[in-house]
A and B are shown apart, each in its own frame.
Chain A
């Protein structure tokens, strides 16, 4: 099976976010970027499927600027991904989900992909729609929040479950298909030190933005503009409940939730 995994660099969780001086977006200077957590799950799933289906290959693609995008592709290689492709992003408009999806769909013409895997959403913009948009470009079905993905070797089709508002749904779907995975349903492996060293020497296929934009033409134009990036006012810290007995604490908090915060019941 030919598996393509979509991955993305995101700021690590501890990052202290701040806006660029023009206030329109995140100031990426000095920010450490890592593989998105959901993407780690997607890679793990791909590697498990490869192990279960001899002859399979796992390839990863990422869209974004240097050097952070190369770094997450190297992280994917260190985890055991066979080949990686870097789709270079433009200086402006790279955060438009339609642009991201079209650019990656363009790159997928060169990357075999019976099964397309992505994370349910990234840890940054939380759009969670790129996998669906790419599937639409490719004319294939897509499913989000997927867990327990397996390939039925007899029929060659996928079986999986989805956690939706209705409950846990079980599905079967033929290939080709796009799947956005829920996180934390598998325990993503950690790259071993020797593999980290090896990944530094492996090749990264690069598709320059000039090539993408020439091929896509008008479709490469962003349809949205980032206007403002703001941090919420710092929470001033909790109002601490004074009490003499647990019962008094309970009464006070329930009263505050009803009368002051108006959330309950």
Chain B
């Protein structure tokens, strides 16, 4: 940066993701969306190809990719299916606290199995009573000897019904606010862990989302990540790492919408010519491509900032917020270009709108991103 060109290695990573998206994901996207089916065979295949644990360091068998490389892959995957992409990258989110805060023993013990075999993990932060207000979470962790006992409920947890491991954020004392939040590694088979039923969602229907109940769940002290009270910072640093790929995911959805719309506009005729020859459509397409390109560049900028070793909270907030808003309005425009057909489920664009919507909400709603952005902005003027 600011060369904007990719290395041959990056091109070949992107090619791999593009091929997977086109040949393995896209052909099943409509069917999985319609049925709300979690296509585990596709996720297994993605795992086999090394597309799943992108952020896990190579010493544990992962790919150890930079955030930039992750973004290139995620944008391509999202063009195949946004929901599947969310499920594929959920491991990155769930394992990041272990990468960031785990001891050498914890990393070896908990990261290696995910690279040796297909397993899913889920990041358990959000609770029914509060999403964005992560400091106010209610799940309790009480220390009893060499164990903690976890009680509480998490919600909107990606892949939860299928995961074998949860990274769980709980408070040792609600009075402490975020200073009480502590992170734990909780295997699914621990007694008292119970994922709820699959949610019936508006979009991302190939992904699976549920609540997870923790009732008297005894977790060894050895499963605590970092010290007591370090969980909040760990969660925030995790989200700083994974927010940018969400920008890439949204960019991919937008790109898919543009591709569909442009092809349709060339084929569909009205008033004696392809609708692509009408200025009303041309202006829409021009606006769409500008939004997508801006989203991509903001995403790349955030990625490069983080890969330089900076925290990149501002850059990643801008990228995620802008790209998800862009995906939403580009998908909307694509439907408009398709006209009545765009509203029909037989055509692919209405799904893109439903999928885009989630990117404005999850991994920090865009309102929270805007608060972060303006705080950073005002700090520079204060």
CB within 8 Å for A197 and B49 given contacts A74-B12, A190-B20: no
Q: In the complex the two chains form, what is the Cα distance from A74 to B54 in whole Å?
A: 21
Name A84-127 residues within 8 Å CB distance of B. none
Contact between B50 and A192, CB atoms less than 8 A apart:
yes
Could you say which residues of chain A place their CB within 8 Å of the CB of B63?
193-194, 197
Answer whether residue B51 sits at the interface, using C-beta atoms and an 8 A cutoff.
yes
Q: How far is the CA of A71 from the CA of B6 in the complex (A)?
A: 14
Q: Are B16 and A193 in contact (CB under 8 A)?
A: yes
Taking the nearest CB of chain B, how far is it from the CB of A202, in angstroms? 12
Q: Are A193 and B8 in contact (CB under 8 A)?
A: no
Q: How many residues of A contact B (CB 8 A)?
A: 15
- Bound Cα distance from A71 to B13, whole angstroms: 13
A67 to B54, CA, bound (A): 27
Tell yes or no: B117 within 8 A of A by CB. Answer: no
Contacts of B9 in A (CB 8 A): 196-197, 200
Tell me if B19 is interfacial: C-beta within 8 Å of chain A: yes
Give every chain A residue within 8 A of B40 (Cβ-Cβ). Answer: none
Range of interface residues on B (Cβ < 8 Å): 10 to 19
| Distance between B353 CB and nearest chain A CB, rounded to angstroms | 26
B48 within 8 A of A: yes
Main secondary structure of the interface of A (DSSP, over half): helix
Cβ-defined partner of A78 (8 Å) among B12, B19, B54: B12
- Report whether B48 and A196 are in contact in the complex, using a CB–CB cutoff of 8 Å: no
Q: How far, in whole Å, are A51 and B51 apart by their CA atoms in the complex?
A: 25
**How far apart sit A181 and B303, CA to CA, in the bound complex (Å)?**
43
A67 lies within 8 A of B51 (CB): no
The complex places the Cα of A191 from the Cα of B51 at a distance, in Å, of: 11
Residues of B within 8 A of A74 (CB): 8, 12
- Evaluate contact between A71 and B19: CB separation under 8 angstroms: no
User: Is B20 a contact of A196 with CB atoms below 8 Å?
Assistant: no
Would you list which residues of chain A between 166 and 204 have a CB under 8 Å from chain B? 190-197, 200
Closest chain A residue to B7, Cβ basis: A200
The verdict on A193 contacting B13 (CB below 8 Å), with A67-B8, A71-B8 known, is yes
* A195 CA to B50 CA, complexed, in Å: 9
B90 to chain A, nearest CB (A): 17
Residue of chain B at shortest CB distance from A70 = B8
- Complexed CA–CA distance, A68 and B343 (Å): 43
Q: Is A75 an interface residue (CB 8 A)?
A: yes
Minimum CB–CB distance from A110 to chain B (whole Å) comes to 25
Closest chain A residue to B267, Cβ basis: A237
Q: Are B16 and A196 in contact (CB under 8 A)?
A: yes
Interchain CA distance A197-B9 in the complex, whole Å: 7
Residue of B nearest to A32 (CB): B11
Given known contacts A190-B19, A193-B63, A197-B63, A75 and B50 CB-to-CB distance under 8 angstroms: no
A196-B51 Cα distance, complex, nearest whole Å: 12
Closest to A240 in B: B269
How far apart sit A196 and B20, CA to CA, in the bound complex (Å)?
Answer: 14
Among the listed B8, B12, B15, B50, which residue makes an inter-chain contact with A194, where contact means beta carbons less than 8 Å apart? B50
Q: Which residues of A contact B50 (CB under 8 A)?
A: 192-195
A191 near B16: Cβ-Cβ < 8 Å? yes
Report the Cα distance A196→B15, complex, angstroms. 11
Tell me whether A190 and B8 are in contact (CB under 8 A).
no
Contact residues in A for B8 (Cβ distance below 8 Å): 67, 71, 74, 200
In the assembly, what is the distance between CA of A94 and CA of B263, in Å? Answer: 36
* C-alpha spacing A67/B11, complex, angstroms: 13
Decide: A75 and B12 in contact? CB cutoff 8 A: yes
Given the complex, which residues of B lie within 8 Å of A190, measured CB to CB? 16, 19-20, 49
Please provide the chain B residues from 1 to 60 with a CB less than 8 Å away from any CB of chain A in the complex. 8-9, 12-13, 15-16, 19-20, 48-51, 54, 58
Question: Known contacts A67-B8, A74-B12: does B19 contact A193 (CB below 8 Å)?
Answer: no
User: Which residue among A67, A191, A193, A200 has the maximum number of chain B CB atoms within 10 Å of its CB?
Assistant: A193
- Closest B-chain residue to A34, C-beta based? B15
In the complex, residue of chain A having the shortest beta-carbon distance to the beta carbon of B24: A190
With a cutoff of 8 Å between Cβ atoms, the chain B residues found around residue A67 in the complex are 8
CA distance A195 to B12 in the complex (A): 11
CB neighbors of B among A139-183 (8 A)? none
A209 to B58 Cα, complex, angstroms: 39
Q: Which residue on A lies nearest to B115, using beta carbons?
A: A194
Give 1 or 0 for each of B61-77: 1 = CB within 8 Å of chain A CB.
00100000000000000
Which of B48, B49, B63 is most buried by chain A, counting CB atoms within 10 A of its CB? B49
- For A78, what are the chain B residues with a Cβ–Cβ distance below 8 Å? 12
The answer on a CB contact under 8 Å between A196 and B12 is yes
Residues of B within 8 A of A197 (CB): 9, 63
Listed in ascending order, the chain A residues whose CB lies under 8 Å from chain B are: 34, 67, 71, 74-75, 78, 190-197, 200
Q: 18 pairs across A/B with beta carbons < 8 Å?
A: A34-B15, A71-B8, A74-B12, A78-B12, A190-B49, A191-B16, A192-B48, A193-B16, A193-B49, A193-B50, A193-B51, A193-B54, A194-B63, A195-B50, A196-B16, A197-B9, A197-B63, A200-B8
Minimum-distance CB pairs A-B, first 5? A193-B50, A192-B50, A200-B9, A194-B50, A192-B49
16 additional A-B pairs beyond A192-B48, A193-B50, A194-B50, beta carbons within 8 Å, are: A34-B15, A67-B8, A71-B8, A74-B8, A74-B12, A78-B12, A190-B16, A190-B20, A190-B49, A191-B16, A193-B49, A195-B50, A196-B12, A196-B16, A197-B63, A200-B8
